Structure formats: C-alpha cells, structure tokens
Structure 1
Amino acid sequence: MTKLTKAMCWELIAVNKDKVNKVGVAVYQKPISSECYEGRPQNDPPLCIESNDPNVAWKVPLQTCMHKVPIAAEVRRSKWPEEWSSRVEKAPYWLLTSHIGVYGKLALEDFTADFEHWKRVVNKSYMNGLWINWSNVRNVMDMRAIYGGFAAALREMKTWVMNVVSVDSPDTLPIIYERKLFGIYHDWCESFSTYPRSYDLLHADHLFSKIKKKWNMMDLIAEVDRILRPEGKLIVRDTVEIIDEVENILRSIYWEVRLTYSKDKDGLLCVQKSMWMPVEVEIITYAIA
C-alpha cells in the first residue's frame, strides 16, 4: 500500500494502531498540484490522456490512470466551494457566463431564475395550498431535479432531499453537489435502488411526459407506489393531458386526490397514497376447467 501511494504522490499524514484490538489506521493526503506526477521516475500508474473526461460518472469503465489536479480558476474542483449555507444559493464559480443553461438562458441567469422559481412555488403554494403536514415529512425525493432548486427551497425545513438527475438530461449533478445537496444519476426506466416505502414525499416536475415518450408510464407509477410509504404524498407538475392520465391511474388504485389544478397547458396534481391493498381472490378451479 505504501509503495502504491508513493507512486500516486499521496502523502502519509498519520499512522496509529489500537493497543487493544491491534487494528491500524493510516491517513493519506492527495496532492494539491500535478508537480509530483510529472517528477516521478516512472509513469506508473500513468496520467490519463487529455480526452479522458474526469467529470463523466455514469456507467464508465474503471481505468488505471490518474487525472491531473485542476488549477485553472474556471475549472471544476480547482478551489474549495463557498461555506454553508451561502453556497446553496450561489451559482458555482465554474459555471461560466458564456454557457447556456438547461432552460435556454445564460447559465448564471438560468440558475438564478430556477432558484427564485422554486422559492416562490414552495413558499406560496406547497407550504399552504396542498394540505400537506410538513412536520411529518422527512425523506423527500425530487425525481427530476435540474439545479436542485426545489431542494434548496426546502433547506429551512427538517427534511432530507434526494435529487435525481436523469441520465438522458443535461449533467447538472455537479451543480447540485456544489450546493452541498444530495444527488444521484438514475434512469427511470429502471428500479430506483432503495427499500420499499422509503420516502414521505415524491416530487415529479415534467417527468411523466418525458418517460411516456420512451416507456410505459404504468411502470413508473408502479415504482412510485413501491418507494412511497402509505399516506405519503406525490406532487406532479406536467402537461394537462399527463396530469389527467396520472390522476385516473392513481384513482384506480384508491389514492386520494388532494388537489388538481390547471392553467393554460400545464397542471398540478397532489395525491396521497392510501392504505388500500388488493383483496385476495379465491380461484375456483372447477369454474375455469
């Protein structure tokens, strides 16, 4: 281990061993520049080639190479982020003004507009108009997070929010992490890696309409039913057509519709999962023989 860490330019900071159980602990520190990499007698493990993107993180095979330490001011991970809680409201330092954001504006304007939008929606609508007792809400999932604005708007609440970034959407997960929020990549055509009935509230902003273009929407609703606890809430923002379709399906499995609202082509739906379970049906074999 020591030989390998030296080859990787990691510095040994401390070594300690417990006198009772004899378990040892070693603490290593990664270098803050690439000077050591370039001065090694052997390039082993080698440095990654320039085209190897260190920011790609979804279904990427492991490679035996190291990326150079970023030093340019505009490059991600070149300096420490802002302290909490100011960092949750500020755009990352590496979010360039020349970049175009997810919603079509310049990146910084896009980020700010998204945060202001969700603060307004949460404070003026979600906190008072959906008949949700937020004191009972602990685990929340934003099923289609963009910049993490919905989670940021809930930062004063005693909630834990999982931000899910769809794998076929722009890669905004680094921005979510920079805000010190939780997040993960996921393909909603697959099951989400969590125990059943783990979440108190699910939030889906124009997710169902995107899924319907690729897969059967019923599969996603079944997954929602699996991971939401009984009497948990689902908030759906989508087109009016999708809202109507989702509402009809959830009514068929006896979910309680708390609120439905539409304006122009968009709609809002808030539903509560019920305690209902299918009744076991006895099959009479002679009747179908």
Structure 2
Amino acid sequence: MAHCSRCLIPWGQYDGVYLIEVDRVLRPGGYWILSGPPINWQKHWKGWERTKEDLNEEQTRIENVAKSLCWKKVAHRGDLAIWQKPINHLNCKTNPKFTQTPPFCPVHNPDSAWYMDIETCVTRLPEVSSNEQVAGGAIANWPKRLHMVPPRVTSGSIEGVTPEIFQQDVILWNKRISYYKTVNNQLGQPGRHRNLLDMNAFLGGFAASLVKDPLWVMNIVPVEAKVDTLGAIYERGLIGTYQSWCEAMSTYPRTYDLIHADSVFTIYQHKCEMEDIMLEMDRILRPEGSVIIRDDVDLLVKIKNNADGLNWDSQIVDHEDGPMVREKLLFAVKLYWTAPADIDQA
C-alpha cells in the first residue's frame, strides 16, 4: 500500500509521471490511498481557498491517470479515496476503457531504482495465463508470508538464489540470532532496542528471526551487492531500501538503536574508505546504541582500531561455529562523550 495524506503532489500533471512511479513500486493488487486536496473538495473548497472548478479539474486528471493505469477505484468515502492496481496486465491493453494507457516500458530490470530517472511508461508485470492469476506469484497473508519462499525466489528471478538457499538462510539466521543473544545480552534485553538497521540484509533473515521481539528492522540492500534481493524482502512483508555505503544515508542523525553489518566491509574493501563508513554508522547511531559487525578477522582488527577511535566500547568474539572460522564478530556500544572544553570554546 502507498498512502498520501495532504502531500500536495501534482498527481495528474506531467503526463501522470508521479502516479506512474507509484504504480511501479506497488505490487500486483496493491492499493493507493489519497486523502486531502482534491478529495472531497465539495466540502472543503472554501477552506482550501481554491475554486470548485480548479479542484474538480484536478480530481478529474487524477481519475483519468488512474484509469489509464488500469487501476480500479474501490472506495471513495469522505476524505479518502482508494484505488487498486490490477493483479496482472492481461486485460490492460484489450479493454476499451484503457485505450489511453501509457506505453509499457522497454524490457529492463523494473527494480532498478538507485539514481534512475522516473519514466512516463508503465512497468510491465510478469506474464500470466488467466485473469485470476497474480502476476509474479501470489503472496500469503501475514504472518505466513514471512516464512514462505518469496515468489521472486520461486520463479528464479533472483540469480543464484533458490528455494533451498532461502530455507538454509532461515535456519542460519535463527542460529545466529540465538548466538548473539547468548554472547551479548543486549539483544535479549526487552525494550533496549526498538529501531534496528541491517546494513546488508540479503533475504531479510536477520529481521525475520527477530520478528517476535518488540522492534523493527530497516533492511538495506547495498547497491554494490552481487544480487538484488530487495523485492524478496518486501514479499516477506519486511521493509527495506537501497543504499550505497560509500554515500551518506538519508536518515536523521542518532536514529538507530542497533546497527548490524554482515560482510559490509568486505563488499566495500576496494570501493571507499572504512573510516568513512564507520563515521556514517556513528552519525546515525544513538548514544549507547549497539553495533554488531561480522567480517573476516583481518578486516575486523582494523575495524576494532577505528571503533576505539570513535570511543566505542568494543570486543571481538569468535564465530558461532568456533574459533577456527576466519569470520569473527565485533560487538560494540557507542559511549556518551563530550568534547573537551578547549575544543568546545574554539
């Protein structure tokens, strides 16, 4: 579902490009909800200090763009209007009502979103054989969808990720989370952590293993990762986004209670400086927030030196499979500290 409340975006203008982008990010059968101008303008037009004609024209443009995208208006009550994206595109071009549908985009990866221009073409849904079939595969209701193999994995659209690999990932992260809570009790303290960030989420296994805890996880798929798994994360009912850790993250400072980094520094070893990534981690981590880093022991020793420089209280511990594994773990806590008085005065 995508929701817009009084966001005042010109949805009907510029060939409907903003609604076309909403269409791209909605899954088949997903919903778009609009409240605020121009919805229910008949009641509010005086308070909005706009004319009836202007607001009616704006709503008409929105309705026309929605129809051109083959969306169905499922509700319009009071200040809310709700549209639904079709579950497939089988009838989109053949139905006379949709003759003004924008052209389908050329064949490309519809999940590409990092530094991509939005386009005035419709992202084509996967082919289906019947009107009732959900393009790309049906998704179970929550919480079953969290544990089912995502349709993107079942269809083989994520290179190198099979249903067997997905099931192995589930088992792996249940084991790792259990180890985290045993070695470092911070994850086991109710209420200590609410906002978590997984810097390299893969299939969302870290977040899925914590689903019964009173917290939420922002799952990051690095732009530089070998495979793009963000769609599978959303199909599991989790939330996430893309990010290049060579750049600043678009978030408030001191936002997260815990940051988890699995092999992040291996991914970026020859792409940008370790110190820059750790400074960004420090910026978005609250005081007394926690860090868990998994990586090769040689990298982790360098990471430990930087953690000490950031005044993190840190320790390196063995892998859950024992000391003979080269991958190690670093647990850290960001400490409260203040600048010396002479620096403050300067």
Asked whether the 8 Å contact 1:101–1:111 carries over to 2, the reply is no
Larger CA deviation: 109-118 vs 276-285: 276-285
CA distance in 2, matches of 1:53, 1:180: 21
Matched to 2:265, the amino acid is F
- Aligned position for 2:183: 129
Give structure 1 stretches of 5+ with no counterpart: 18-23
User: Secondary structure of 1:37's partner?
Assistant: coil
Matched length: 274
Report the identity percentage: 33
Distance 1:280 1:98, change over 3 A: same
> CA 1:126 to 1:101, structure 2 compared with 1: closer, same or farther past 3 Å?
farther
Whether the 8 Å CA contact 1:258–1:272 is kept in 2: the answer is no
Name the counterpart of 2:327. 266
Deviation by residue 1:171-190 (Cα, 9 ceiling, x = unmatched): 10011001101111000011
**Counterpart check, 1:204 vs 2:261:** yes
Provide Cα deviations, 1:179-214, integer angstroms capped at 9, x if missing partner. 101111000011111111111111111111222211
The code of the aligned residue for 2:229 comes to T
Q: Please state how far the C-alpha of 1:69 moved relative to its aligned partner.
A: 4.4
State the partner residue of 1:115.
Answer: 170
Classify 1:4/1:93 alpha carbon distance in 2 versus 1 (closer, same or farther; 3 Å).
closer
The one-letter code sitting in structure 2 at the alignment partner of 1:111 is F
How do residues 46-65 of structure 1 correspond to structure 2 at under 5 angstroms? 46-65=102-121
Are 2:219 and 1:163 aligned?
yes
Shift of 1:255: 1.5
TM-score (norm 1): 0.84
Amino acid at match of 1:114: D
Instruction: Name 2:196's counterpart in structure 1.
Output: 140
> What amino acid does structure 2 have at the position aligned with 1:131?
N
Aligned Cα root-mean-square deviation (Å): 2.8
CA contact (8 A) 1:131 1:258 kept: no
Describe the shift of the 1:10–1:93 C-alpha distance in structure 2 as closer, same or farther (beyond 3 A). closer
State the one-letter code of the partner of 1:108.
Answer: P
- d(CA) in 2 for partners of 1:45, 1:54: 18
CA distance in 2, matches of 1:206, 1:85: 29
Q: Which has the higher helix share?
A: 2
Query: Match for residue 281 of structure 1?
Result: 342
Q: CA deviation at 1:40?
A: 3.8
Q: 1:76 and 1:168 mapped to 2: Cα distance?
A: 31
Please list the CA deviations of residues 215-236 of structure 1 after superposition, one character each: whole Å capped at 9, or x if unmatched: 1110011011111111111011
Counterpart-to-counterpart distance in 2, 1:247 and 1:284: 31
